[in-house]
A and B are shown apart, each in its own frame.
Chain A
Amino acid sequence: MLEFLETITGVPTPLLFGQILLGLINGAFYAMLSLGLAVIFGLLNIINFTHGAQFMMGAFVAWMLLTWLGLGYWWALILAPLIVGATGVVIERLMISRLYKLDHLYGLLLTFGIGLMIEGFFRNQYGSSGLPYRIPAELSGAWDLGFMFMPVYRGWVVVFSLVVCLATWLVIEKTRLGAYLRAATENAALVQAFGVNVPRMITLTYGAGVALAALAGVLAAPIYSVNPQMGTNLIIVVFAVVVIGGMGSILGSVLTGFGLGVIEGLTKVYWPEASATVIFVIMAIVLLTRPAGLFGRA
């Protein structure tokens, strides 16, 4: 079977497995980012284009905590999402909340603008080359899988993000809080009539979505250089993931995130030049055949 695979693909099987593994790791980032986007879109109907900047802020806050306060990776994993989430709450209260009555497009433009401003600010302060952030000692090193050198940290990224995705899905689909949230999207007035503070719930949901982006940023800091454009490069792909998975579908965005990571990884072996476009080709095909996305409800 393996030999057969090798014959038809022309790539040694171990290398192929290695690439699938790497694809899953990138997929973990796609999944976590698209999860945050899906939560925000599903419950607020806002297409949050600031997401890439908030991912980048997560990485920068991790760097600041280390450089200014001497707080390492594990602290950053807890504090950075809280800090960046809090800035999200402020942005939602001051600006986004004024746009709920208007078309989606306004929210998109506003968040896009905020994102550009945040990126511009960080670029002016820290340049474009990025700042070094080391892999924590507990997770450094690598496993020799024979066919590939597998850094421990990358394994941690996959496991950790799977846990976060699962937890988020459980909270929204299986708990009372999640039920309130889902009810509020269907009929906010009715939920408010039952004594639930809907505006506060929406604000906190936005904060939580932003915190997810920041969490992914902390995870990314030791792998990619911490630089202002790290979110821009990723966010367009992540939007494609959300569209393919179905806007607002939590499970859909997680599964498509991992799936597309693998597809992209395989493209990097067979046709590297196309690896930056393959996801958009898939997006076009999905939009033509299933406009609501693979997991979306039309």
Chain B
Amino acid sequence: MTMTTRRSLLATGAALGALPLHRARAQAANTVKIGVLNDQSGLYRDVNGPGSVACTRQAIADLGATLRGMNVEVVVADHQNRPDVGVNIARQWFDRDGVDMVIDVPTSSVALAVAQVAREKNKVYINSSGATSDLTGSACTPNTLHWTYDTYMLAKSTGGAMVRAGGDTWYFITADYAFGHALERDTTRFITAAGGRVLGSVRTPFPGTTDFSSFLVQAQASRAKVVGLANAGGDTINSIKQAAEFGLTRRGTKLAALLMFISDVHALGLETAQGLVCTETFYWDLNDNTRAFTARVLPNMPGGLRPGMAQAGCYSGTMHYLKAVLEMGVAAAKADGAATVARMKQMPVQDDAFGATSIRADGRRIMPAYLLEVKTPAESRGPWDYYKLLQTTSADEAFRPLSEGGCPLVRS
């Protein structure tokens, strides 16, 4: 009696256990898993972080019924701006957790490292927050899409505008890692091409530099007309704040914030940031579509932040990826990352945040670049009304020509 009871109990248990397992397997076949890998706790958190996650989820919500029952799961991890941590998470996601696509990945050193893992595992890699133009140059892979901006485009738009305005001598304050080096290199090319000169540069340890006064004083001593900030996020905020404190701008030196996001302007306040010029590919208040997208995602943005271009890129990238998966079928898309990326390159990209854009053979998504100037407190009409549009560079002009990047995919 006891034996049978125990046996039947075991059998029932096994059956009960197997039931959800079956369902889980059936579900897994129809499930796409997206991993948002970025800085959740450090100096780039407000530029990407939880905001990127909210935008990724918004893309899924906006597609809604068109997903036709396809399950989309989102996982999130903090790479702490460290390549070793980023690579370990990506490997674990691909090998153990069944992640099909990794998106965002700020911090160029991490961005480059993860690109290699995605290629090795043949998954999809959409980089929205990383900046180095090498992602579609010497380090391009058939699995990488570079989505939102890059150092070449920033250098051309912001750097070019500064030189045209008479800033022909430069001194760089450069974050000492892949991103800063690439941004300095790309900007230098435009300065020298326009007949300008770079008088010097200083490499600041990354992460962990909070006091830039010493570097700013060195920049000032060089008597350069423009101090180029080849850094981002918290570093840019501290540099600009301390440059004002040390009277750089009052003495006529111009600051070139080569990569500045709207969250940086918000943290600085218009009083300090007014007049600075920067380049973005997305601004929430650009047109009706960007405003509609912002209104939808805003309730989920951390601390009421308006989405910046890197975060909006996660929205656009996720949406385009899912459209490609729908076209290919989930099984085919999951099986071959490179094929999915190839399909994404063929399809026109269309979303509320960036409008109609396209992807090139080297993985570079091209779109118009907006040269923006930070408003004065008097010009600003309300919260987050920060930019006025100075100039638009067309998609074909904004990015590095396909032939100059040295991407092996283009040559073959």
Binding site for B on A (CB under 8 A): 12, 15, 18-19, 22-23, 25-26, 120, 123-132, 134-135, 142, 148-149, 151, 153-154, 223-225, 227, 229-230, 233-234, 265, 268-269, 272-277
Contact = CB atoms under 8 A, between A and B. Distances in A.
Given A12-B221, A132-B269, A127 B208 contact: no
Interface in B204-256: 204-205, 207-211, 213-215, 217-218, 220-221, 233-234, 237-238, 241-242, 245-248, 251
Given A22-B213, A151-B247, A227-B234, 5 more contacts: A19-B217, A22-B217, A131-B267, A224-B210, A229-B42
Given A224-B211, A268-B214, A272-B203, A128 B234 contact: yes
B237 A130 contact: yes
A143 B140 CA distance: 51
B214 A22 contact: yes
A128 B176 contact: no
Contact of A273 (B203, B246, B251): B203
Given A135-B245, A224-B211, A128 B49 contact: yes
Contacts of B209: 233, 275-276
B242 A127 contact: no
A26 B210 CA distance: 10
B263 interface: yes
A37 B238 CA distance: 26
B246 A151 contact: yes
A130 B267 contact: yes
Nearest to A18: B217
B201 to A, nearest CB: 9
A123 B271 CA distance: 24
Nearest to B45: A128
A127 B303 contact: yes
B303 A126 contact: yes
A242 B215 CA distance: 26
B284 interface: no
Nearest to B44: A128
A276 B208 contact: yes
B246 A130 contact: no
A123 B234 CA distance: 13
B213 A129 contact: no
Contact of B245 (A23, A123, A153, A265): A153
Contacts of A120: 41
B238 A25 contact: no
A142 B244 CA distance: 11
Interface in B17-50: 39, 41-47, 49
Q: Which 6 A-B pairs have the closest CB atoms?
A: A276-B205, A128-B45, A129-B267, A268-B214, A132-B269, A129-B46
B272 interface: yes
B10 interface: no
A113 to B, nearest CB: 15
5 contacts: A18-B221, A127-B49, A129-B47, A268-B202, A269-B218
B43 A128 contact: yes
Given A26-B211, A128-B49, A132-B267, A149 B303 contact: no
Given A128-B45, A129-B263, A135-B245, A233 B217 contact: no
A163 to B, nearest CB: 22
A279 to B, nearest CB: 11
Contacts of B302: 124, 127
B205 A275 contact: yes
B41 A234 contact: no
Given A129-B237, A149-B247, A272-B202, A123 B41 contact: yes
Identify the interface centre among A124, A131, A230, A272: most chain B CB within 10 Å of its CB: A272
B67 interface: no
Interface in B173-216: 176, 202-205, 207-211, 213-215
Given A129-B263, A135-B245, A15 B46 contact: no
Contacts of A15: 217-218, 221
B238 A224 contact: yes
A125 B46 CA distance: 12
Contacts of B46: 127-129
B214 A233 contact: no
